[in-house]
Chains A and B, each alone.
Chain A
């Protein structure tokens, strides 16, 4: 009987190919949307983590409260010891001290007069220590447009766009004008050795990247740093582990009566990233649930149309003694087969699209020109193990629910009407 019904299913294109196309299209869109949302949140979180938040971040409590103002006068001191303690206690994480700063970068002419000048957002990283992973983490090599990376103290990088706007060239001297932690003016000369294009709107407008020791010296922050960032291996954020580390660290080191005692926060606690991640998770759920709902209605209608087309067949089957429950079950089995088949095709198409978007992404640089959010200009999809089966949930559920609803008519049908119906 199963083979008999299967033959009918394969031969009747209206009840096999049409639903399969509908399901495959829906599943493909679901997977594409799911992967793209994942890619968006992952990309945003990864970009933020690399440039700004780390997976966990340590600051003084006072600094943390107004960190958006980059209050380096409230920065951490004794950073070398803090770093070695953190490395000893949490060896799985890579720890890096950073200083964010603002200032003016001045490019003088041969006479020493200002030729070009512009405000910069500065980032001091450990660029010169042998075992530092900052270069690799930020992919400075890959972001380099002109010149080279700093190899000795006193060398800096700036955004390519910033260099173009000011008309400056590699090898020129630049003077950073900023303020020290004690509020006095900081003036420090550097050599521009390279330009960068991060592919991140705010960074590409006016970033300056310098070695940590140079900025410590320039801003009078010996053995100090605004933040110490911790990274999990392979830059993969682990929410539970991050929270555990932060809680454990804070329970020992955070002092309520000392504004300068350190506090550790996770990526999710910064820049609304936690809310963003939760929102994306909910949106992914809404997309899948929405697909199930919409497709159930579509497939219910398809089922009803198919049911009308198959009225004669169902009538004959009932007249010849097939039980209603058997007819109903066979329709559900058909739905499962169609759902599986459609889901496989949809998954292949969806994954192919997601793979393309993972590799090439969509370029939003035109739309993020004025954005201050640390997000890539190119948004990519992300394929995860869940991407391979997530489409099967709505694909199968929608088909089966659609069939369950449309098939109720079989039970409502009065067997006595069979002859009349079959004659019309």
Chain B
């Protein structure tokens, strides 16, 4: 655990009451994530990866132990403070995109900046830049219903990245995409990770995602059974790296 760690989990335990018993979703997790990582929490369904992602994202609290995100112990944060942490430093990418259907692509990407109370001119500049990253500058006036699945997920990535957060948490971001779109979106995220030094943490069991990772944390039954550095095996990713 380095001193400059972006995220640290200490003896993290998460239990859920099920019936009269307690189900332990995470068991004594000790992990450290540094700035600029491109890491995956990998494992089968029910292994605890989404739970861990929730706790890192200050959406849930551990039953025992601590999670320190950018120097803040999420367990100590009140609801508003946790919301503030998410607003300022965290971006989310969801499996089902979750774009707001009544808003245009531009407005969907603009939304996180409104929460930051950024000026109109700055917002416009940032949104156009984010759409340029995901190559959707020509779709700013489109509604989500007019876009393909791959385009929707690229909008979701732009929305997560527009405020240039320190951390992006992505839960199965390719689960609803075909292979071509999956690679497209992963390459985009990989490139942004390089360009902006944003830390990406994925919860995934998709081999395509795993092929882009530089670190793989494998979870089984709520325990870390492997934490290894990997070499991205997809050519585009390697080209980007070099």
For B84, the chain A residues whose CB sits under 8 A away are 321
Q: Mark A301-312, 1 if CB is under 8 A from B, else 0.
A: 000000000001
Cα–Cα distance between A321 and B100 once the two chains are bound (Å): 15
Q: Mark A89-105, 1 if CB is under 8 A from B, else 0.
A: 00000000000000000
Among B50, B80, B88, B117, point to the contact of A419 (Cβ < 8 A). B50
For A312, the chain B residues whose CB sits under 8 A away are 98, 100
**Cβ-based interface call for B96 (8 A):** yes
For B98, the chain A residues whose CB sits under 8 A away are 312, 315-316, 422
Q: Mark B34-54, 1 if CB is under 8 A from A, else 0.
A: 000000000000000010011
Among A11, A315, A320, A323, point to the contact of B79 (Cβ < 8 A). A323
Among B54, B79, B88, B96, point to the contact of A416 (Cβ < 8 A). B54
**Cβ-based interface call for A172 (8 A):** no
Q: Which of B5-13, B65-73, B107-115, B208-216 contacts A (4 or more CB under 8 A)?
A: B107-115
Contact indicator B59/A321 (Cβ below 8 Å) = no
**Cβ-based interface call for A333 (8 A):** no
With A8-B100, A423-B171 as given contacts, are A321 and B94 in contact (CB-CB < 8 Å)? no
Closest to B51 in A: A416
Among B79, B82, B94, point to the contact of A422 (Cβ < 8 A). B94
Cα–Cα distance between A320 and B102 once the two chains are bound (Å): 18
Among B57, B92, B103, B117, point to the contact of A7 (Cβ < 8 A). B103
With A12-B102, A316-B100, A323-B79 as given contacts, are A415 and B60 in contact (CB-CB < 8 Å)? yes
Interface of B: prevailing SS: helix
**Cβ-based interface call for B87 (8 A):** yes
Chain A: minimal CB distance from B157 (Å): 14
Cα–Cα distance between A182 and B83 once the two chains are bound (Å): 94
**Cβ-based interface call for B26 (8 A):** no
**Cβ-based interface call for A313 (8 A):** yes
**Cβ-based interface call for B90 (8 A):** yes
For B83, the chain A residues whose CB sits under 8 A away are 318, 321-324
Closest to B159 in A: A320
**Cβ-based interface call for A81 (8 A):** no
Cα–Cα distance between A318 and B82 once the two chains are bound (Å): 10
With A319-B92, A419-B171 as given contacts, are A4 and B115 in contact (CB-CB < 8 Å)? no
Cα–Cα distance between A11 and B107 once the two chains are bound (Å): 13
For B114, the chain A residues whose CB sits under 8 A away are 1, 4
For A315, the chain B residues whose CB sits under 8 A away are 98
**Cβ-based interface call for B85 (8 A):** yes
Q: Mark B103-127, 1 if CB is under 8 A from A, else 0.
A: 1000100111011010000000000
Cα–Cα distance between A414 and B85 once the two chains are bound (Å): 17
Closest to B99 in A: A316
With A319-B59, A320-B92 as given contacts, are A419 and B53 in contact (CB-CB < 8 Å)? yes
**Cβ-based interface call for B95 (8 A):** yes
Cα–Cα distance between A419 and B41 once the two chains are bound (Å): 15
Interface positions of B (Cβ within 8 A of A) = 50, 53-54, 57, 59-60, 79-80, 82-88, 90, 92, 94-96, 98, 100, 102-103, 107, 110-112, 114-115, 117, 171-172
Pairs across A and B, CB under 8 Å, 29 listed = A1-B115, A8-B100, A312-B98, A313-B100, A316-B94, A316-B100, A319-B59, A319-B92, A320-B92, A320-B115, A321-B83, A321-B86, A321-B87, A321-B90, A321-B112, A322-B115, A323-B80, A323-B83, A324-B83, A325-B80, A414-B60, A415-B79, A415-B82, A419-B54, A419-B171, A420-B50, A422-B96, A422-B98, A423-B95
Query: A-B pairs with the 7 shortest C-beta distances?
Result: A321-B87, A416-B60, A321-B86, A11-B102, A321-B83, A415-B59, A12-B102
Beyond A316-B98, A419-B59, 9 additional contacts (C-beta under 8 Å) are A4-B103, A4-B111, A319-B59, A321-B87, A324-B83, A415-B82, A418-B59, A419-B171, A420-B50
